[in-house]
Chain A
Amino acid sequence: MSGSRRMLPRDLVSEAIGGLLARPARVALTVLGTVIGVGALVATLGLSKTAGNQIVGRFDALSATDVVVSPSARAGGARAAVLPWDAEPRLRRLNGVAAAGTLSDVDVRGALVRSVPINDPLAAGAIQLPMKAASPGLFRAVHARLATGRLFDAGHSRRADRVIVLGPNAARRLGITRIDQQPAVFVGDRLYAVIGLLSGVRRHASLLGAAIMPEGTARREFGLRAPALAQVETRIGAVELIVRQAPVALSPVDPGLLKVASPPDPRQLRGEVKNDLNALFLLLGGVSLLVGAIGIANVTLVSVLERVGEIGLRRALGAGRRHIAAQFLLESTAMGLAGGVMGASLGTLVIVGVSASKTWTPVLDPWVPLGAPALGALIGLISGTYPSLRAASLEPVEALRAGT
């Protein structure tokens, strides 16, 4: 008559399953909430992982090697003279830098730009044109492509030659299409030789509509005090290194005077995309799970109330309170487990379906489909706790009075 091992685990399981199979339709409907909840969670986790994988695959090599150094707010903002004139050679000495150059806006004090007067009534007169000053290495750093002519070099800058390179839009506005006739433009009243026309740039699109002169020239002619920014192209994977080293190389006394703009770490970017996607669907999954849990709790409670007579009979047959509690707890846990298994399958199917339609490679952490049924079972266990305790607390005499 030992009390502790009176009910065999095998009997407990078969009684719980018997209790569920007696009401299959109700169990199926109850489980549905958990199926949807777990399915949404699995699909969300899998899809964001899958999509995150795609983002890394498509990550642009160009933007992944882009570093821009400019004066920090503490130094006094963009106009502060912090960057040294030899920023370009200093940066190029750093291991991991593929190309570097400095770029500044030139304040021409309202001077208008016009091409050398020719007798063309349709040609535009004097226009306002953004004026930029660049170090020679900038053209490589922004992937500038030359349409015709040549770029200026360190010699032009050193001698402060009055030469200019035009972006394609600026050239069109000035009506300059060819170099072979040695065109020139007036900036205010000073004449500049146009030595080259660009056809495109891949960074700093503002260059497309600008006239670009050597830094040395801008310094002498317009009193440019310091470069406004340094553009660096790093080798792949060297961004983090350059981000740390560039301010020290350019402003050894106080690197804090410079700020560095770099592309977000791809891993971080993937994380952010994932978070955006997840936030909504995880919320959806969470709400579905909550509703599913309440459903299981509700149905188990109703089932307890309906089966009061059966509980009384079982107590009369010798069931202890814990046997009754264990049976109802196992029933609700089994419902949660079934919901978890079905939800995991459904979620996996959704991932595969979406991936197939987008020709993605489906990616899923193995613990997701394995953990999902466990989550479902846990939800069933928690939901069943209160109804099971209710069932166990019934007095056998009262319960028997209800009949079956």
Chain B
Amino acid sequence: MATRTLLSPWTLERPHGKIGYWLVFVVVFALFTLAFVVPLVWMLLGAMKTAPELARNPPTLLPERLNVDSYVDAWSFMELAGYFRNTVVVAGGAWLLQLAVIVPAAYALSKLRPVLGKWIMGLMLATLMLPASALLVPTYLTITDVPVVGVNLINEPAAIWLPAAANAFNLYLLKRFFDQIPTELLDAARIDGAGSVTTMVRIVLPLSRPILAVVSIFAIVAAWKDFIWPLLVLQDPGIQTLSVALQRFEPDTPINLMLAGLVLASLPMVVAFLIFQRQILAGLTAGSLKG
């Protein structure tokens, strides 16, 4: 039941149309393979070549000898285990804290409708108008000396977690989803004696699984990919994330080890993408078209 698109099904049925279609298909397929598959395969193959082989010009197509030594060497040379752990801590913490902060806030703004609620939402959305990089310097200075409590969060994972929790875009996505949950449902729960917390946890959250998945994916992917902010606030090599560490190692690491490091750093996100492809792509269009 394919819907009608630019070309009509009849045109494609005719002999001329059929030949044209397959011609275009083969060209597009070849271009896609060249543009998106070849670079990634070249990276995988490169990580299996030795450093002298990689320096050869013209390059060898396939590695002379299949081996995974580079991966093992890269793992110990760059001490990747520690950076993986740091990245998981940073991304996982950012995700959990963000949910813990914005879910109740979105619920309150959507369903409890406090005085000034509209103003608060407006002030939060206004932060989206700012290009993120315009806030780098003042936020950095705030992190070095958090007002009121007066602590320096540089080299603490909290330096990433706390600013990540102030995510107006995800909060807005959640609030708009909560807005569509009928109030009658919540009133019914209230009459049955449920408090606000119970109503949120037992009724609103189970209904909101799709949007929670989208927000979670956004939060984790953003934290895993982020570079400039961790570069600024995680200066101690012992606490740096993969992105920051790889960039620091790049100038004086043999290229074959570097390539193996790149493959390893990409694997978690690529595997997650292959598993959650449907949710990620659905979230992409939901978040950007209507957000």
Partners in one complex: no
